[in-house]
Amino acid sequence: MADLFPITLLSLQVSILATLISLLIGLPLGTILALGKFPGRSFLLSIVNTGMALPPVVVGLFVAMMLWRSGPLGDLRLIYTPAAIIIAQTIISAPVVTGLTAAALQQLNPRLRLQLYGLGASRAQMVLSLWREARLPLLAALMAGFGSVISEVGASMMVGGNIRGQTRVLTTAIVLETSKGEFERAIALSAFLLTITFLVNWALTVIQQRGRS
Amino acid sequence: MTALIEVRDLLVRREKQTVLEIEHLAVQKGEVLAVVGPNGAGKSTLFLTLARLLKHERGTIHFNGTDSMSTLEYRRRIALVLQEPLLLDASVRENAAIGLGFRGIPRVDSDRRAGHWLERMGVAHLADRSARRLSGGESQRVSLARAFVLEPELLLLDEPFTALDSPTRARLLEDLKAVLAETSTTTIFITHDLREAERLGTRMAVMLNGRVHQMGEPREVFAHPADAQVAEFLGTTLG
């Protein structure tokens, strides 16, 4: 278990970065989908909602094809690197954050926007006020986004390759140990994965509930 | 007297239907114009159009003699109180000060000014409480304080008492009347309640089917309805 620490660290680095990139994409996109009025908005929302249920192996396949040496982005030499896992995990969690952001903002009273404008808010101030008002479900969106990537294995395995010391993360290590019949090691890794997932979500929940009080 | 706001030849259409058509409407500085009419008369459309929250197809809205002001600049000279208080999930004080925050007023000043208006509206003791824990009447008082703290040139009120019970409504109406008299805030007050309109308005406009049928002092309007439709709405007879 000497490599437990680097595996855990890489898992956290990759999943936290993918979640933060998803937040940068999902927060504005979800806001536009929730508040905007433009043709095709419902269709786009349906696409995002479908994306929330994207199977990680399908994402893994798509990203692997893109990053494969002979693929369209092969020259970037990203296949079997942590960057490839981050790309795949971002594709998995961005629809989750986007869809839940849109839902969080749509559940607010639509007249609240009128009220904020009527008090002299600029468009940016109005959006910031709505984000603040929906901070509890928005933090839940962040937790769901993180949960969707820290626990996935298919995409990480396919685009990362589970290379020891380079792209091995907790989930791919669990698969490997199980396939070798090393159940004790697999259980220990699983317990560790659950513990860090709990700790990250606990920290986010504390922030969320402090906002409530 | 100078008109603070003057509307000419205004046309608003929704889904190809004309919902508001006003030839001329002027509100003088310091005046409280009560706009009355049944549901669907176009009162709320007028309210939203005057707040520049709804686009009009034709016509002009002059504010202090100009119609070339940017929407943001215009909105920062008015304040809005809607039927629902629509307070944010924050303290009462933060809610009262939010409009000042939008205008970049420093926190110390905005807290002091918010405190003054919460006091004036009789809810200063609730300043540190969460706005989610207020009664309907308290919430509407905070909503009014949030508007008055901006010292607006024009105050727009859209049926602010509708959701309140009778005693609460009566007390709030009296307090609002006193504040309006004290501050001489130019106000447009949308209501379907004729008694409220008569109590608060220095003038009254009767809207029916998207048009202003009559405008004048409340007593005059009640005594001499302009046509049969106005008389029917007011429950009086043509005189």
**pTM tops 0.80, yes or no:** yes
B72 touches chain A (CB under 8 A): yes
pLDDT > 70: percent of chain A: 98
Residue B235 has pLDDT above 90, yes or no: no
Residue B238 has pLDDT above 70, yes or no: no
Residue A174 has pLDDT above 60, yes or no: yes
ipTM: 0.93
Average per-residue pLDDT in chain A? 94
Q: What is the pLDDT of residues B195-219, one digit of tens each?
A: 999 999 999 999 999 999 999 999 9
Lowest-pLDDT range, A91-105, A117-131, B25-39, B160-174?
Answer: B160-174
Architecture of domain A4-109+138-206: Orthogonal Bundle (1.10)
β-pair partners for B203: B33
Q: Which residues 6+ apart lie within 8 Å of B51 measured at CB?
A: A114, A117, A118, B75, B78, B80, B156
pLDDT of residue B87: 97
Contacts of B102 in chain A (CB under 8 A): 119-122, 125
B3, B26 Cβ separation under 8 angstroms: yes
Give the model's confidence band at A211: pLDDT under 50 very low, under 70 low, under 90 confident, else very high: low
Give the model's confidence band at B85: pLDDT under 50 very low, under 70 low, under 90 confident, else very high: very high
pLDDT of residue A213: 53
pLDDT of residue A47: 96
- 3-state class (DSSP) for residue B26: strand
Residue B175 has pLDDT above 60, yes or no: yes
Distances in Å between the Cα of A164 and the Cα atoms of A6, A79, A193 are 10, 15, 17
Q: Give the residue from A153, A155, A157, A159 showing the smallest Cα distance to A69.
A: A159
Give the model's confidence band at A199: pLDDT under 50 very low, under 70 low, under 90 confident, else very high: very high
pLDDT > 70: percent of chain B: 98
Shortest distance, CA A20 to any CA of chain B (angstroms): 26
Query: Where are chain A's structural domains?
Result: 4-109+138-206
pLDDT of residue A143: 94
Give the model's confidence band at A207: pLDDT under 50 very low, under 70 low, under 90 confident, else very high: confident
CA distance B75 to A118: 6
CA distance A71 to A107: 42
Q: Across the interface, which of B48, B86, B102 has its CB nearest the CB of A120?
A: B102
Contacts of B55 in chain A (CB under 8 A): none
Q: What is the pLDDT of residues A107-135, one digit of tens each?
A: 999 999 999 999 999 999 999 999 999 99
Residue A210 has pLDDT above 90, yes or no: no
Q: Which domains does chain B have, with CATH numbers?
A: 28-54+65-77+153-239 (3.40.50.300), 88-151 (no CATH)
One-letter amino acid identity for B127? A
Using the beta-carbon criterion (under 8 Å), do B98 and A129 form an inter-chain contact?
yes
Contacts of B48 in chain A (CB under 8 A): 114
CA distance B67 to B168: 39
